[in-house]
Chains A and B, each alone.
Chain A
């Protein structure tokens, strides 16, 4: 093609056009806001936990929040509304780390919506001390300065905006989409996995047989214990527990997990960590701890998907306990819980005698 611009004209126009296009793209993201970074509505866009949770925490209208791992993802928000009268939102992530819990808790405190914080404490989360933080940093604050990664972000433009636009177009054209698309756009259902999961003793025993969790571990448990206790203390210190009503809870893993821990020598460590955690938060009047780990139903594997994940009926039961105060724990109840865990293991082994054969 014939040269029709001088180089300085070309350069000036390049700068002007590039800046104009980038400004328009930024404006479009601000308006569409696919990750709810500026405003949160229900039933609008496809939700991805890593990208949507921070925005929901910052901008959704709620007065209670559930923070935690996959153990919390099947909580029914209506149960919280009905049993506790709280407009509750879930801020969850599978395999959530202690760093991520602290960050979400801090973000929720800064957002100032919640009066009550329900925080699930997985025993492994306490011990691992993982510093992994999967939520994008530009979404985990209220600053506009780093939002350029959002305005011109790959995930926004190449992943979610095209999908969101397609879903909106389908809605406006009256096209009926499969149920999972609606579920993927519900803030109440964000992260919910129960609807696509089977529960039952047979598959729990299968997953146990395939796991290597029953193998004896040959490591220095004394040093691991000290590291884990240090991690536990760091985790508690990383949170400002002086504000709001804070409810920590230890989820009801199946007794098969406790049996497995007993076999490989990790049970004592798990219990010691829980004790340390409860001691650390005991000084706060606004903090409660629920411990479901000695519950009788943990010996019934029909309630489980695998050794740890339980059915949504158990989530409902936990909500009713938050309301009634059943399973409230303190430093004085730990011995009794431990006894219940050991009793439940006995019940489990008598109910499923094949367990002891599986790892032989």
Chain B
């Protein structure tokens, strides 16, 4: 199920909230009430996850069962390190094989076929929604249990940690220690008006970002990347549109997740903090998909040695971490190259910190944004040749081809004059660029939220205007990862 859909907003969410907050009327014992509420959330999350395909449910349930049993095994055999380690290795192997099979099988076979001229058949497997997220989350849990940092509690707690629908399919990637205590906290059982209002406010901001902004930009992006050749104007319009689309899409999803969490009195960590205001790639990755950065740092960068083994190893470790990040995002060389170049920039920044801090901050922000924008082309392109078309256009300074912008706006409903299309697209991009560079981010807005008439009118506007965009229902970009 998608947050920005009629069925989620008008049926699923109201019913789950109603059930959740009606339970205290029927169960007086606080511990039992909390378990019942968690069971309700687990059931709702399974419906949410299996809405499009029951097939997905078998995979996620199998993944949860195997990981839970192995985590329990590690804890049981804590005094017998060999057995504990065996459980740990099995767990890692299981998760890597699971994601490897569903996400990377075809990629692997394609490369084998390419290198050796073989013709092994591709499976074209249907990628289970959010498999990268829930697998990563469970892997991190296994590592924590193995290190003795976490204790395995009951099965219900583990299920709600993995399945909680607001962050199930596209994060934020949460830690067991930051979520499960909240699910077991009896003081969070009752309806809290302040949390509910803040949650609704945050949800509506995210909904607007996704349904109105990101999905409008998607048209320009899809049209732009489908062109056989692009002039300067259209290429920059298409790449900027994607840079904005992916931000509003993913941060919109994260805002909705945080808002939904609040409605259930659960605090979900922030995932975005105005990333495009960053003046370096290092800062960008502290502001963009924050929980992924945290997980990669904890489970890859630091175990590799982090920055403790000299400048060269720091460079290599940083690069490797981003290489894995690229591969995590998608089973294609375009993603790997995208991640590697990000890694290269971050590693260079770490190697020459003084040199890069000399230019004024506004210039560093502008340069970072332009480079990030150029790299998103690789991320969006279905192939290197498609990326090359956009890059060629972005560098074709002698061929502005302003009128080609009309082809980006085309949606088959009506042919407006080219001048109208150009004015529409360029003014929209200009406004959105102002928003990302000048406006408060969602965290700042949530922290300054109060129940006033102004916030009420703003939220009603965001909600109703977003509802008018739901008929072009689309999935979130990060559902594919």
Contacts and interface: CB of A to CB of B under 8 A. Distances in A.
Interface of A: 1-11, 13-14, 17-18, 21-22, 25, 46, 48, 148-149, 152-155, 157-160, 163, 184
B371 to A, nearest CB: 34
A4 B453 contact: yes
Contact of A8 (B193, B455, B460, B472): B193
Given A14-B200, A21-B460, A154 B468 contact: yes
A48 B414 CA distance: 8
B469 interface: yes
B354 interface: no
B98 interface: no
* Contact-residue size bin, chain B (C-beta under 8 Å from the other chain): 20 to 34
Nearest to B411: A159
B471 interface: yes
Interface in B400-426: 411, 413-414
Nearest to A138: B471
Nearest to A3: B450
Interface in B435-481: 450-456, 459-460, 463-464, 467-472
Q: Is the interface of B mostly helix, strand, loop or mixed?
A: helix
Contacts of B8: none
Interface of B: 6, 193-194, 196-197, 200, 411, 413-414, 450-456, 459-460, 463-464, 467-472
Contacts of A153: 468, 471
Contacts of B450: 1-3
Contacts of B455: 1, 10
Contact of A159 (B193, B200, B414, B459): B414
Contact of A152 (B193, B411, B467): B467
Contacts of A14: 197, 200, 456, 459-460, 463
A90 B453 CA distance: 51
Contact of A154 (B451, B456, B469): B469
Contact of B470 (A9, A18, A154): A154
B469 A148 contact: no
A22 B467 contact: yes
B464 A3 contact: no
5 contacts: A1-B455, A5-B451, A18-B464, A154-B471, A159-B414
A1 B452 contact: yes
For the complex, would chain A's binding face be called helix, strand, loop or mixed by DSSP majority?
Answer: helix
B451 A149 contact: no
A163 B197 contact: no
Q: Which of A7, A153, A184 has the most CB of B within 10 A?
A: A7
A345 to B, nearest CB: 34
A5 B453 contact: yes
A144 to B, nearest CB: 15
A152 B452 contact: no
Given A7-B194, A11-B196, A21 B464 contact: yes
A3 B200 CA distance: 17
Given A46-B414, A48-B414, A6 B470 contact: no
Nearest to A5: B451
A7 B196 contact: yes
Nearest to A180: B415
Nearest to A49: B412
A256 B27 CA distance: 78
Most buried by A among B459, B467, B469: B467
B453 A149 contact: no
A3 B468 contact: no
Given A10-B451, A158-B469, 15 more contacts: A4-B451, A4-B452, A5-B451, A10-B197, A10-B455, A11-B193, A11-B197, A14-B197, A18-B463, A18-B464, A148-B6, A154-B470, A154-B471, A154-B472, A184-B414
